[in-house]
Amino acid sequence: MKEREPLVRHIFTADPSAHVFDDRIYIYPSHDIPHDGTDDDEGGEYIMEDYHVLSMEDPDAECVDNGEALHMRDVSWVGRQMWAPDCVRKEGKYYLYFPAKDHDDIFHIGVAVSDSPIGPFKAEDSYIEGSMSIDPAVLPDDDGRYYMYFGGLWGGQMERWKTGSYVAHPEEIKADEPALGPFFAELSDDMKSFKEHPRMVQILDETGEPVKAGDEDRRYFEGPWMHKYNGLYYLSYSTGTTHYIVYATGETPYGPFTYRGRILEPVLGWTTHHSIVEYHGKWYLFYHDCEISGGINHRRNVKFTELRYNPDGTIQTIFPYSEDQKA
């Protein structure tokens, strides 16, 4: 497989969550459905209904589409829009976490279970109690605990939950107010519920002050991902309107996290969403753009490229269309 080339072309894929299970790379993307509707700030154009699991024997191998792993028709609480998922393994079981709107058009996060990393997955009858918004990403920590990070502004409805309960039309957050961060919560032992009430992650600037809502180059918008490198926690995310993937670091999974820099410069298309995974001592960034559709925002394709660290632990910024940076 060539870096920075679409992993598959026969379907549109986005929002890749990549993991290594049994020395093989598995990618859990969302599945864009082609249509002729218009785009809007609420994400109405993203009408995804199911999940396909992609896999690669190694980064040089061809990518395989393992077929449909879960469809909304098999999830009783889902009304529409099954967006970006994630998957983790615990004690031989695979847990697929996914956001979707319920029948009242409110986003929650569900879980489906399988004995295989490629599914099929069987969903629980209801969403995770206390869950909200979109973009679940789960960190399996070294001590055996699992933490979920989630949330997205605008169409992701995160600002509707800032008071702790759902508000359909919340007050606008002022530019000089602290930006919202993603929510997080430790998962219970059964992996199907939260052990604690979700709290909001705090992201700080270099002076120790919260990043402000008007700081669109650095503030959180959506698409959280958490990984560890040399014992440090790296929270990475999309800035949304400015189209960067950036990162912040912290000493614990609870934060706070201090902004450190950019990982990925803007790609073709409005959204940007990623994951980071290690394979045989090298690190890789999985992401999407709109190359094969020529820039249609809801017809995206997943790619990957090598991610490199500097000696001080900072991440080298990736320019996605630079030939000089390709491995």
Catalytically active residues are: 15, 222
Q: Do residues 28 and 86 lie in contact, with contact meaning Cβ atoms separated by under 8 Å?
A: yes
Reported as half-sphere exposure (CB side, CA atoms, 13 A), residue 103 has a value of 5
> DSSP per residue over 7-38, as a string?
S-SSSEEEEEEEEEETTEEEEEEEEE----PP
Element (H, E) at 237: strand 232-238
Q: Is 2 exposed, middle or buried (0-12, 13-18, 19+ CB in 10 A)?
A: exposed
Tokens, residue 181: 């961060």
Closest CA to 95 of 117, 76, 126, 75: 117
CA distance 319 to 258: 23
CA distance 21 to 194: 24
Residue 215 DSSP symbol: -
Q: Is 318 exposed, middle or buried (0-12, 13-18, 19+ CB in 10 A)?
A: buried
